[in-house]
Amino acid sequence: MVDSVDHAQEYELAERERHIRRARLSSTCASRLLCEACEAPIPEARRAAIPGVALCITCQQRREQQQRHYRKDR
């Protein structure tokens, strides 16, 4: 039996996929070979998966964590 939670999860998944597709298609610049923050090499698989990528995985995770913890009232 399908309930409202199942519908919400399906909708959330579809929205996430739509946003990922749009983000991948919207980037027109070339991916960087080296991370702009730490100068570490960006793996080919990451550059192929995310057109226009500028950060290595570690620096991207740090940036996302900082943004998650940032509060405007500080």
Of 1-5, 12-16, 40-44, 50-54, the poorest mean pLDDT is in 1-5
pLDDT digits (tens, 9 = 90+) for 10-43: 999 999 999 888 877 665 678 899 999 999 999 9
Query: Any alpha helices (H) in the chain, and if so which ranges?
Result: 4-26, 44-49, 57-69
Locus of tokens 């550059």: 47
Is the predicted pLDDT of residue 54 greater than 60, yes or no? yes
Is the predicted pLDDT of residue 74 greater than 60, yes or no? no
pTM of the shown model = 0.57
Instruction: State the DSSP string of 16-31.
Output: HHHHHHHHHHH--SPP
pLDDT at 1: 62
